[in-house]
Amino acid sequence: MIKAVFPGSFDPPTLGHLDIIERASGLFDELVVLVAANGAKAGLFSPEERVGLLRDILGARPKVSVRSCDTLVADFARDEGCAVLVRGVRNPSDYSYEYELSLLYRHLNSALEFILIPADPRYLALSSTAIKELASYGADVSALVHPLVETALKRKLRPASRSH
């Protein structure tokens, strides 16, 4: 049995994330979607809210679970018996960053394999940061996120007032 982990901040989860989850879940016996702490990013949603959104969106899928951690992902993977770490890449810049990160993960957990899944072309320009920015101005993000995320964004954000 091969267990994989797909870590991210998922703040908020996008259709790009959901596409990677769907594709990765078909490759492994078990996939843990991991809401991981990222001290470099200020979160709009709390980790508990992100876990709740992902669980509500993904429903009861037998091969997929959603968890959170505030430890190193490499340590989480080792402690939970995950043999593979999955990451999505949208562009050469993502690839370069993820490649360097894979070397660091390999140093921290030599048993952990690193799999990069290229983004679906529909989601190449999609990022959680862009979603938050658009939503903060009241833009329609319905084609970029699940309806539950769209509703949560509307509750969290008020359109920024614009000066002319």
Catalytic residue among 17, 87, 132, 146: 17
Q: Kindly calculate the radius of gyration of the chain based on its CA atoms and give it in whole angstroms.
A: 16
113/91 Cα distance (integer angstroms): 21
Catalytic residue among 9, 25, 128, 146: 128
Catalytic residue among 67, 90, 106, 156: 90
17 an active-site residue?
yes
128 an active-site residue?
yes
Helix ranges (DSSP H) in the chain: 15-25, 47-58, 73-80, 92-108, 128-136, 147-156
111/69 Cα distance (integer angstroms): 20
CB contact at 8 A, 23 and 49: no
Active site (catalytic) residues: 17, 41, 90, 128
